[in-house]
Amino acid sequence: MIAAPSAERAQLALDGVAKRFQARDRVVHALEATTLTVAGGEFVTLVGPSGCGKSTLLNIISGLTPASEGSVRLDGRAIAGVSRRVGYITQQDNLFPWRTLRDNVALPLELARVAPGERRDRADHWLARVGLEGFGDAYPHELSGGMRQRGSIVRTLIYEPPVILMDEPFGPLDAQTRIVLQDMLLSIWEGARSTIVFVTHDLTEAVALADRVLLMSARPGRIVRADRVDIPRPRNIFQIHEDPEFRRLYTEIWHDLRLQVQDANTLGR
């Protein structure tokens, strides 16, 4: 049962989801009405200039932030509030400093009242899968940033939510660590095929990982471009930049992304 990949494939649908904030004397449109369908088992990446509402979108899908308009559906059923079927991995690892790495990773099982022995076995299994065997008893402050982020990722993978949201999970890491973790993520995902929505500002990462890349505009955020990435899997992330399809997509999307980034900057951000 330990290694069983999540068999469930969930389709995620956003229908006219918009977000407005009330800022002192004016209304800020963080996210324009967004309609989007992510197929079960699809890996979608979202790129866009900073402050374009990418994180707002993930917060709404996760249920942590209510949408001002529209609805989020999972396999056709509207979800209100947080759902254990939607996992969320953030840029900050948010490991609990008072828990060992093993107890951090086992947290979702503990919340679901899984027996301690099984928690331990499953946590150790996942730690080994991301190259962290032997670190189960370490506290977060004793680990490197890359190790902590791996811990944070398996803390979500361990309870196998059919949909996983990732908000720049490799953002704070150095280039070498990033690529190793991207490779690790792809090989795990290719086995389990959860539905993934992955936010990044790194276009290389966005194209290398995705089935589909979505480009968001400067604030107010909306999806202005969508590209299917027809690079066969399993992909070799270390050499993907040599792939002609990768190069073509990268150049095309970058042209549009640059315009959005310039837009965002003329708006004073």
Partner 1 sequence: MPTRSGVDGLAVERAAGRPGVRWLFDADRPWAVNGGRVAALLVLFGLWELGAGRLFDIFYFSKPSLIVAQVGKEVVDPSFYRDLGVTSLELILGYASGGAAGIALGILLARWRYVAKICDPFLLALNSVPRIAVAPMLIVWFGIGIASKVFLAATLVFFITFFNTLSGIRGVDKALCDVVRVQGGSEWQIFTKVMLPHASAWILTGLKMSLPFALVGVILGEFLVSSKGLGFRLNSYATSYNTSGAITMILLMMLLMMALTAVADLVDARVMRWRPSDREAGGVAPKA
Please state whether the peptide bond connecting residue 169 to the residue before it is cis, i.e. omega within 30 degrees of 0: no
DSSP 91: S
Of 28, 24, 46, the closest CA to residue 36 belongs to 46
**Which of 84/247 has CB closer to partner 1?**
84
Residues 6 or more apart from 6 whose CB is under 8 A from it? 160, 161, 162, 192, 193, 194
**Which of 75/256 has CB closer to partner 1?**
75
> Structure tokens of 188?
């795990």
Q: Please identify which residue in the block is written with the tokens 């008893």.
A: 137
Shortest Å distance, C-beta 63 to partner 1: 8
Shortest Å distance, C-beta 92 to partner 1: 6
Shortest Å distance, C-beta 38 to partner 1: 18
**Which of 40/63 has CB closer to partner 1?**
63
**Which of 103/124 has CB closer to partner 1?**
103
Shortest Å distance, C-beta 232 to partner 1: 33
Of 174, 257, 259, 197, the closest CA to residue 54 belongs to 197
Shortest Å distance, C-beta 165 to partner 1: 9
Element containing residue 153 per DSSP (H, E): helix 145-157
Interface residue list for partner 1 (CB under 8 A): 62-64, 82-84, 86-88, 90, 92, 94, 96-100, 107-108, 110-112, 139-141, 155, 159
Any idea of the CA torsion for 128, 134, 139, 141, to the nearest 10 degrees? Answer: -90
Residue 93 near residue 152 (C-beta atoms within 8 A): yes
**Which of 44/86 has CB closer to partner 1?**
86
**Which of 73/99 has CB closer to partner 1?**
99
Residues 6 or more apart from 185 whose CB is under 8 A from it? 153, 209
CA angle 143, 147, 148 (to 5 degrees): 75
Shortest Å distance, C-beta 185 to partner 1: 19
How far does Cα 217 stand from its chain's mean position?
19
**Which of 92/251 has CB closer to partner 1?**
92
Beta bridge partners of 72: 14
Beta bridge partners of 47: 215
**Which of 94/251 has CB closer to partner 1?**
94
Shortest Å distance, C-beta 107 to partner 1: 7
Shortest Å distance, C-beta 173 to partner 1: 18
